Chain A
């Protein structure tokens, strides 16, 4: 009897276990159907991968359509500057040169200027001024490129030829950089307008970098009797150096592909000249100006190859910047 009784209990327990197991499994199965919701998950994953597809598509399409020019000119395309639709000779050197020089001018002006403006915003100005000034600089970033172009062509270029360029050639005219007639439009004006356009981006990011420096670090330097500039140059800037570099790269990426503002003021003349007063062109401005005229397949293909070169340059800069920023963020996580 005792054995029977024990067996009965065992069986009951087993049945109970089975029942609970099956109901648990059923619940789990149901919940997977309802909660994990594969349709929505895959739909959103599809949209996310769409972005990857676009980037890959740009690369493939630009390469496919510039294939004719790549096979015709080979590597010569990059280091020659002939650009003759009649003789069917094309080389990108002048455009690449103009792009690099105008971007260089923009960086030389915008980076130091952003540095001191963000210093002003974080260290010097009282909060009542910081907010509106920071806001105004953000609005500067929102103004479209073509408005800078209009302003540059009709307002700033006459100002350059009337005041800035004569002053530069009078005082620094012994340098080949500042020789030639002051026409207003040209590489120098394009670079300065570009610097105004990237200034707000760099400033906003440098300000955030400065704000991230712990107050304790700064206060201990102040406590030792350091002046504001000493704290900034020896503590804040060293602490946030990688962030400041990242901010500058962000501005660089913006400046190099900027189209409309540059097209308005650079003069659109294909030449490589030592003088910054002379007209020039960039990759983007060449595309904007000449695309409508390009009916010949080789001409069109060369323009698309210019686009491909610009795409590769910007992708490289952007990827480096993002990797750099990710590295900084990981570093902050460790601290």
Chain B
């Protein structure tokens, strides 16, 4: 090892310490900067009309994003209905049946890979699978694309949470003569409840801000949603279209929608913390 004077070592140490502290400050500053700008510019768009009215052409005041709010809620809800049972059961399989099997570990591997697939690819997949055969964009296709993002997240978290349940609980229930499905539904689900709910909420938080998978599936629409079988208005696509437009009042509405999404996503994330803390008591 090279000999260095004590003084130089100390100086280098202090430099690194200062750099590290400044970097952490920098990270927090970026977060505050983003939240501040979204809050400041978004608040200007917030009004009663924003939540209750349809979008208006550029230049006409009083437009809102009510249809997009409804459309986003409908698609996320449908995506949840599709993905929660599939993801949950896949998690059950991984933690209860296929734990040390080859099939189980390869599914686990694929889930990890799938969580890293860009969401725009999942949108393309649903485009080729649903939009091309039916020949039109639809809210159903959008919900399916969102569900594909949610499934691996829910499967992964529910597997983790079910694995945490102590084996003695499973064994005592089985010893009482309870069948396996009863043990899983009444004992495991109940004792891992907080963790399972957290996984679902995190998945919902993730997809409520997704835009890329909706580009080729749900598209957007300036009208109220009549059914999910047609192009469906949604918040994130509204942000994209309005932000790219040259009109000031449309850009302002895009900021309002951004603020709405940030509030929802951050609230869901903080809510999961709260659930986990309550369950630990």
* Interface residues in chain A, defined as those with a beta carbon under 8 Å from any beta carbon in chain B: 34-37, 39-41, 43-52, 54-55, 57-58, 61-62, 64-65, 113, 116-117, 119-121, 124-125, 133, 136-140, 142-151, 153-155, 196, 199-200, 203, 227-230, 232, 250, 253-254, 256-260, 264, 284, 287-288, 291, 304, 307, 310-311, 314-315, 317-319, 321-322, 326
Contact = CB atoms under 8 A, between A and B. Distances in A.
A229 B121 contact: no
A61 B9 contact: no
Contacts of B31: 136-137, 139-140, 143
Interface in B1-54: 9-10, 12-13, 16-17, 19-21, 23-24, 26-28, 30-31, 33-34, 37-38, 41
B112 interface: yes
B221 to A, nearest CB: 14
Contacts of A145: 209-212
Nearest to A322: B112
A219 B75 CA distance: 53
A54 B112 contact: no
A35 B179 contact: yes
B120 interface: yes
B240 interface: yes
Contact of B155 (A51, A62, A120, A200): A51
A253 B212 CA distance: 16
Nearest to B122: A58
Contacts of A36: 180
Secondary structure dominating the interface of B: helix
Interface stretch (B55-63, B64-72, B89-97): B89-97
A120 B266 CA distance: 25
Contacts of A196: 30
Contacts of A154: 37, 41, 243, 251, 255
Contacts of A124: 17, 20-21
A65 B140 CA distance: 21
A264 B132 CA distance: 27
Given A144-B208, A256-B118, A259-B212, 13 more contacts: A37-B180, A47-B89, A48-B90, A51-B90, A113-B23, A116-B16, A116-B20, A125-B24, A142-B269, A154-B41, A257-B118, A287-B124, A287-B215
B27 A58 contact: no
A119 B125 contact: no
Contact of B107 (A48, A142, A143, A153): A48
Nearest to B94: A48
A286 to B, nearest CB: 10
Interface string B80-118: 000001110110111011100001101101111110111
28 contacts: A41-B97, A44-B93, A45-B97, A47-B85, A47-B87, A52-B107, A57-B129, A62-B125, A113-B23, A117-B23, A119-B20, A120-B23, A133-B27, A138-B269, A143-B34, A143-B209, A144-B209, A144-B265, A147-B38, A150-B255, A151-B33, A199-B27, A227-B12, A256-B118, A259-B211, A284-B212, A315-B113, A318-B112
A259 B174 contact: no
A253 B116 contact: yes
Interface of B: 9-10, 12-13, 16-17, 19-21, 23-24, 26-28, 30-31, 33-34, 37-38, 41, 85-87, 89-90, 92-94, 96-98, 103-104, 106-107, 109-114, 116-122, 124-125, 128-129, 132, 148, 151-152, 155, 174, 177, 179-181, 184, 205, 208-212, 215-216, 236, 239-240, 243, 251, 254-255, 258, 261-262, 265-266, 269
Given A48-B94, A229-B12, A257-B120, A146 B209 contact: yes
B9 A310 contact: no
B117 A257 contact: yes
A143 B41 CA distance: 17
Nearest to A227: B13
A150 B239 contact: yes
B198 to A, nearest CB: 13
A55 B110 contact: yes
A322 B124 contact: no
Closest 5 CB pairs of A and B: A144-B209, A257-B118, A44-B93, A47-B89, A227-B13
Contact of B104 (A48, A64, A149, A254): A48
